[in-house]
Amino acid sequence: GIQVEQSPPDLILQEGANSTLRCNFSDSVNNLQWFHQNPWGQLINLFYIPSGTKQNGRLSATTVATERYSLLYISSSQTTDSGVYFCAVYSGNTPLVFGKGTRLSVIA
Amino acid sequence: EAGVTQFPSHSVIEKGQTVTLRCDPISGHDNLYWYRRVMGKEIKFLLHFVKESKQDESGMPNNRFLAERTGGTYSTLKVQPAELEDSGVYFCASSLYRDRGLLSTEAFFGQGTRLTVV
């Protein structure tokens, strides 16, 4: 089945710093989603992005499906950005497959 | 519009007991999925309903897990009897439709049920 790899696995940032999270996938995908799991365990939809670039406030995402990767940019990070960021993909008839996540800690 | 809702938010049970988790999807969403995250590891697929039919249950770990979706609305996931390794966070998600081989619509997740088996 499709493999989804996220990097880095852990990231510690000073408040106000910028970061880039990466998601690589091993096969062509129908769609891709980014999620944020907050400290309370909730999975929050960030982006639904099969290709191209989208922006939402301080967050933006780019998916280059032909090269099998997606990037999530976080600018001017805040402590509330802490948590685990997951990338998940649909490929063919498979259910949504998640990467292992990037654990982000933003310190004041 | 209400999102995906899961009950309970937390459950602590003893090994050998039974627990039933409930998921109310977004109204009108035919697709309903169950996932779980065990011990901070990856989020793993359990099963997929299209309306009331099980489309894919390849991720169900064993026959102690039983999922139902009566009338194509809410779904329940029963664990009987629960074992220690069943502890984790169980997520439910729904999406409007899923065309095979075509663009899939966005999946929305509930807040999860944290299950602790002691």
Question: pLDDT tens, B16-36?
Answer: 999 999 999 999 898 999 999
Q: Report the first-to-last Cα separation within chain A, whole angstroms.
A: 40
pLDDT, position B98: 60
Instruction: Tell me whether residues A33 and B107 touch, CB distance under 8 A.
Output: yes
Of B33, B89, B93, the CB nearest to A41: B89
Instruction: Tell me whether residues A98 and B93 touch, CB distance under 8 A.
Output: no
Beta strands in chain A (DSSP E): 4-7, 10-14, 19-25, 31-37, 43-48, 52-56, 59-64, 69-74, 83-90, 97-98, 102-107
From B79's Cα to the closest Cα of chain A, the distance in A is: 21
CB proximity A83 to B under 8 Å: no
CB proximity B2 to A under 8 Å: no
Closest residue in chain B to residue A37, using alpha carbons only = B111
Q: What is the pLDDT of residues A50-100, one digit of tens each?
A: 899 999 999 999 999 999 999 999 999 999 999 999 999 988 777 899 999
Of B56, B98, B112, the CB nearest to A43: B112
Please give the order of strands across the beta sheet that includes B75-79.
Answer: B5-7, B19-24, B75-79, B65-68
Residue B51 · residue B105 · CB < 8 Å: no
Inform me whether the pLDDT recorded for B103 exceeds 70.
no
pLDDT, position B99: 59
CB proximity B100 to A under 8 Å: yes
Residue A82's Cβ-count burial label (10 Å; 0-12, 13-18, 19+) is: middle
Q: What is the pLDDT of residues B34-83, one digit of tens each?
A: 999 997 788 999 999 999 999 999 999 999 999 999 888 999 999 999 99
For residue B45, list chain A residues with Cβ-Cβ distance below 8 A.
95-97
- Cross-strand pairs, B115: B11, B88
CA distance B94 to A22: 26
Q: What is the pLDDT of residues A11-28, one digit of tens each?
A: 999 999 999 999 999 998
